[in-house]
Chains A and B, each alone.
Chain A
């Protein structure tokens, strides 16, 4: 049953990721991005990263996806002529993407990866919190400053000039 769920989540993630980049309508892309992000959260659960999965749902789906949908609503004119969503580089882009995918798959399957045995942790929140406030305190503070700067910058940029 777990195995079945795992493969369903993998298939869902890959199919909706394809829809995100191939769909002709922007709002369909956004909806496909929703199920991709949910699928990635499911993959995190299978990787025993429950806290990251929760953050993924909160920040990506609750924050970034809403921002993106707001962006679509604010910049799409309903009356406008429907333009093609893709540019002329589709052939080159597809070739490069397929080449990248084949190359990475070859590297991944040919490399003898080191895999250590591990037992499933009871919960990851305590460990992640301890690491954030001890070993990674400086990056944690730096990234909070960066987030503050980025949000103020975004507010200043999108404000109407007077």
Chain B
């Protein structure tokens, strides 16, 4: 509990799960969930380093910026996915490979 390695290992496991999800999912929304896992892993690292580096608050600011970026990214990604669904009637990202209809 008071050891930096525990937090870093948890973040590494979350990151690996996220990478696995991004690589193997065929549904666009599931890929987005994998990206959220990766961003959360990065955030745990920021906050853990800020806590064990003598309670430095700079890490908290970076975590906040990452959370805001994740919100913006989720909004744009879902808009794109819904557009793909309206145009091609699928959200299988393996099929949606053409740049133009």
Residues of A at the B interface (CB closer than 8 Å) are 2-3, 6, 10, 13-14, 17-18, 20-21, 26, 29-30, 33, 36-37, 40, 43-44, 46-49, 51-52, 55-56, 59-60, 63-64, 67-68, 70-72, 74-75, 83-87, 89-90, 92-94, 96-98, 100-101, 104-105, 108-109, 113-119, 121, 124, 127-128, 131-132, 135-136, 139, 143, 146-147, 150-151, 153-155, 157-158
Would B33 and A83 count as touching, CB distance under 8 A? no
Residues of B at the A interface (CB closer than 8 Å) are 1, 4-10, 12-21, 23-27, 29-30, 32-34, 36-37, 40, 43-44, 47-48, 50-55, 57-58, 60-61, 63-65, 67-76, 78-83, 85, 91-92, 94
Complex formed: what's the CA distance from A90 to B30 in Å?
14
Q: Taking chain B's interface residues, is the majority helix, strand, or loop, or is none over half, making it mixed?
A: helix
Complex formed: what's the CA distance from A43 to B67 in Å?
15
Residue B15 contacts which of A71, A94, A100, A157 (CB distance < 8 angstroms)?
A100
- Residues of B contacting A96 in the complex (Cβ-Cβ under 8 angstroms): 19-20, 23
Known: A128-B64, A147-B72. A101 touches B16 (CB 8 A): yes
Known: A68-B32, A100-B16. A47 touches B47 (CB 8 A): yes
Residue A143 contacts which of B68, B82, B85 (CB distance < 8 angstroms)?
B68
Known: A17-B37, A21-B17. A116 touches B10 (CB 8 A): no
Would A86 and B51 count as touching, CB distance under 8 A? no
Chain B's nearest CB lies how many Å from the CB of A41?
10
Q: Taking chain A's interface residues, is the majority helix, strand, or loop, or is none over half, making it mixed?
A: helix
